[in-house]
Amino acid sequence: MSRFASVALTVTSVLLALTACGGGVQGTPGGSGVRDPYFPKAGNGGYDVTHYALDLAYDPDDRRLAGTAEITARASQDLSAFDLDLKGMDVERVTVEGERARWSRNGQELVVRPHDDLDKGETFRLTVRYSGTPQTITDPDGSKEGWLPDGDGALALGEPTGSMAWFPGNHHPSDKASYDLAVTVPEGLEAVSNGELTNRATSGGRTTFRWHTAEPMASYLATLAVGDYDISRSTFTGAAGGELPVYTAVAPSQKGPARAVLARIPEVMEWAEYNFGPYPFSSTGAIVARVNSSKYALETQSRPFFPGAPGIELLVHEIAHQWFGNSVTPKSWRDMWLNEGFATYAEWLWEEDDGGDSAQETFDALYDHGEDEHKDLWDFPPAEPAGAEQISAAPVYQRGAMVIHKIRQTVGDDAFYDIVQGWAADHRHGNADTGDFTAYVEEKAPDEDFGPIWRDWLYGDGKPDKA
């Protein structure tokens, strides 16, 4: 092409662009994912959500959920269109900045074309009105998440991709936001979510619960439990001196088995604050649903979820996640070991402090015969899960905890606890990845050589040498 021809083409496309959008800068579509190595469609490009205001109504009889999601977001580029993640449900209306927007569906992507382009840096308000029967999602490892009908009610559990079953959003851990959730359910049922209950009002046979989460929350940590629950409220005085509400919801069948362990929440919170630093959220508690309502527990923010009364170790694990996972959140699903390695190591520390095996003994037993219990323990390195179906496998949990223990062995207890607390403080309410972590550890202990630990324990294939 001659130089002249290429200039002429450029002029033509500029003219076309000017015609298309009435003279402004032309935006481009935001992109259907954020290139997560394991979940490429999770999250969306081109904007950041700052707040979700969800106004939902659920009728357990016909399992219908209807609601409006009002999302406040900031454009990170000039946008002609952008996606939300929403799987299933019928979309009825979408507005952007108060004006009707065009939209279409493509798998889990809800593609929104605002009436006017959005400018880079602009904060905008989006509403999506939707309804339907929310789906239960089966994730790559076969576990069930999303919306789980349960007895007279339902449970919403999000890790890793379940949240798109019950509200449209930017469903990737890298985009955290504050939340207001209003849920209307038939009178007589409870509705329990994250954060603080700010209001509860009944009229015409229906009760509306309003829950508020001020601190940033990744959407996989948002939860909702609707059903018959026994509610207990108390307070906990945190290390910082303030009083936090403790709100627990227990399925009637679990009242007996759960009583003693839930009574230990303040003790576990104090222990965790002593070891990890100030608690990062403004309330605490637990949701104990019926046994087998789900196959797993989840560290839902400020109010962990348990399918049946947990043992003390599991309670410690989910409370430790409030620091590791919920406050310091992975940048992508590849960094999962930063959640599970720490939460598992917290169990080892608890046991050590409680007069059981020392963390060293737990480490040694795993090293010597861990394969008996966890066949896949040496299958892949913690920092590089072999696939999306492996993000909750033993190398992420147990071998991840072994990495943390190797650091403690290297630096000694004083420096170790400084590192753990400093890490939680530095990235409080933020996101971090494995590279951020290894750089942080190296910076705090500049005289040590962590190279072999990273190489063999964090990134290396196969069982490392013990030394």
CB atoms within 10 A of CB 381: 24
What's the min distance (Å) between Cβ of 343 and Zn ion?
Answer: 4
- DSSP run (H or E) holding 127: strand 123-132
At 104, list the tokens: 């279409």
What's the min distance (Å) between Cβ of 299 and ligand TRP?
Answer: 6
DSSP track, 79-121: EEEEEEE--SSEEEEEEETTEE-EEEEETTEEEEE-SSPBPTT
What's the min distance (Å) between Cβ of 141 and ligand TRP?
Answer: 7
Which CB sits closer to ligand TRP, 78 or 159? 159
DSSP track, 159-198: TTTGGGGTS-B--STT--EEEEEEEEEETT-EEEESSEEE
Which CB sits closer to ligand TRP, 142 or 241? 142
The reply to whether 160 sits near ligand TRP by the rule CB under 6 A is: yes
3-state secondary structure of 367: helix
Which CB sits closer to ligand TRP, 114 or 341? 341
The reply to whether 299 sits near ligand TRP by the rule CB under 6 A is: yes
Among 110, 164, 297, 424, binds ligand TRP (CB under 6 A): 297
The reply to whether 340 sits near ligand TRP by the rule CB under 6 A is: yes
Q: Which does 391 bind (CB under 5 to 8 A by kind): Zn ion, ligand TRP, none?
A: ligand TRP
DSSP track, 407-449: HHHHH-HHHHHHHHHHHHHHTTTEEE-HHHHHHHHHHHSTTS-
What's the min distance (Å) between Cβ of 353 and ligand TRP?
Answer: 20
Which CB sits closer to ligand TRP, 317 or 406? 317
The reply to whether 424 sits near ligand TRP by the rule CB under 6 A is: no
The reply to whether 391 sits near ligand TRP by the rule CB under 6 A is: yes
- Please report where in the chains the tokens 């996989």 appear, as a residue: 220
The reply to whether 225 sits near ligand TRP by the rule CB under 6 A is: no
What's the min distance (Å) between Cβ of 153 and ligand TRP?
Answer: 20
Residue 171 contacts by C-beta under 8 Å, 6 or more apart in sequence? 42, 43, 85, 158, 161, 163, 164, 219, 220
The reply to whether 347 sits near ligand TRP by the rule CB under 6 A is: no
> How far apart, in whole angstroms, are the C-alpha atoms of residue 29 and residue 427?
31
Task: State residue 302 phi and psi, 5-degree precision.
Answer: 70, -15
Which CB sits closer to ligand TRP, 80 or 322? 322
What's the min distance (Å) between Cβ of 209 and Zn ion?
Answer: 27
At 249, list the tokens: 């919801």
Residues in the interface with Zn ion (CB under 5 A) total: 2
Q: Which does 215 bind (CB under 5 to 8 A by kind): Zn ion, ligand TRP, none?
A: none
What's the min distance (Å) between Cβ of 441 and ligand TRP?
Answer: 23
- Going through 133-169 in order, the beta strands assigned E by DSSP cover 136-138, 144-150, 153-157
The reply to whether 249 sits near ligand TRP by the rule CB under 6 A is: no
What's the one-letter identity of residue 452? P
The reply to whether 109 sits near ligand TRP by the rule CB under 6 A is: no
Cis peptide before 160 (omega within 30 of 0): yes
Q: Give the range of 146-154, 198-206, 260-268, 290-298 binding ligand TRP by CB under 6 A.
A: 290-298
Which CB sits closer to Zn ion, 145 or 190? 145
Contacting Zn ion within 319-358 (CB under 5 A): 340, 343
User: What's the chain's Rg over C-alpha atoms?
Assistant: 24
- Please report where in the chains the tokens 């349960």 appear, as a residue: 150
Site string for ligand TRP, 300-339 (x = CB under 6 A): -----------------xx---------------------
Task: State residue 297 phi and psi, 5-degree precision.
Answer: -90, 165
The reply to whether 128 sits near Zn ion by the rule CB under 5 A is: no
Which CB sits closer to Zn ion, 85 or 299? 299
Which CB sits closer to Zn ion, 88 or 304? 304
Residue 202 contacts by C-beta under 8 Å, 6 or more apart in sequence? 187, 208
Q: How far lies 340's CA from each of 188, 401, 452, in Å?
A: 37, 8, 22
Which CB sits closer to ligand TRP, 192 or 298? 298
CB atoms within 10 A of CB 200: 12
What's the min distance (Å) between Cβ of 343 and ligand TRP?
Answer: 6
Q: Which residues bind Zn ion (CB under 5 A)?
A: 340, 343
Which positions touch ligand TRP (CB under 6 A)?
143, 159-160, 296-299, 317-318, 340, 343, 391-392
